[in-house]
């Protein structure tokens, strides 16, 4: 039987999308066998983040489109943005499982989110539907896998990537060095973040 192509779900606020996000997505694709693609899923509002995104949903979506326009293996799912409200991963996973039944589903997270998995709503059901690809930065101490029934974890090893969305929003030099040129231009043209 032929192996199903991989669909790697990559959720986040992407406020803004930056080079570390793109590098992690590239590493994740290399880690799966056979054909694969990454589906970027901008969240309307994360249940585990109290603060709303600084950019609007339309602006975050526009930046994502600019960042991935030349990479055919990267696509965007705006379902959570269209739906609005808090973005619970279980709703997204159920939706995409029915939308893409011919794919093997993965959910790409960092080690920080791996520790948070027991707090995810309906994590046991999510664990039955996806394999978690966990990006482990070089030099990161061993991270224990939380006790969640049926949890499947595969490691994605890669370099320590310096950029963070928080730093980018507050520092123009970091912004210019860590976002694609078209995204940086969009940020300036729209007066986003007002970095010092």
- Strand ranges across the sheet with 104-110: 74-76, 36-42, 6-12, 104-110, 131-137, 153-158
pLDDT at 50: 57
**Domains in the chain: boundaries:** 6-164
Q: Considering just the CA atoms, what is the radius of gyration of the chain in Å?
A: 16
pTM: 0.91
Take residue 63 and report the two structure tokens written for it.
């930046």
Q: Architecture of 6-164 per CATH?
A: 3-Layer(aba) Sandwich (3.40)
Take residue 32 and report the two structure tokens written for it.
């799966």
Which comes out higher in pLDDT, residue 136 or 102?
Answer: 102
Average pLDDT over residues 58-78: 97
Helix (H) or strand (E) holding 110: strand 104-110
Confidence tier at 37 by pLDDT (50, 70, 90): very high
Average pLDDT over residues 90-102: 96
Confidence tier at 57 by pLDDT (50, 70, 90): very high
pLDDT at 166: 85
Above pLDDT 90, what percent of the chain?
68
pLDDT at 142 over 80: no
Average confidence score pLDDT of the chain: 90
Cis peptide before 122 (omega within 30 of 0): no
């Amino acid at each position: 039987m032929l192996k199903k192509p991989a669909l790697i779900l990559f959720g986040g606020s992407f406020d803004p999308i930056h080079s570390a996000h793109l590098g992690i997505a590239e590493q994740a694709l290399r880690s799966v066998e056979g054909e694969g693609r990454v589906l970027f899923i901008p969240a309307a509002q994360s249940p585990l983040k109290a603060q709303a995104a600084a950019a609007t949903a339309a602006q975050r979506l526009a930046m994502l489109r600019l960042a991935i326009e030349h990479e055919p293996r990267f696509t965007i799912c705006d379902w959570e943005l269209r739906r609005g409200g808090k973005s619970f991963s279980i709703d997204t996973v159920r939706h995409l499982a029915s939308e893409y039944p011919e794919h093997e589903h993965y959910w790409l997270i960092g080690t920080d989110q791996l520790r948070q998995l027991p707090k995810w709503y309906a994590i046991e059901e999510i664990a039955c539907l996806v394999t978690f690809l966990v990006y482990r930065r070089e030099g990161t101490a061993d991270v224990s896998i939380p006790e969640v029934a049926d949890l499947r974890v595969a490691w994605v090893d890669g370099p320590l990537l310096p950029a963070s969305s928080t730093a980018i929003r507050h520092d123009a030099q970091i912004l210019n060095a860590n976002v694609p040129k078209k995204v940086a231009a969009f940020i300036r043209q729209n007066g986003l973040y007002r970095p010092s």
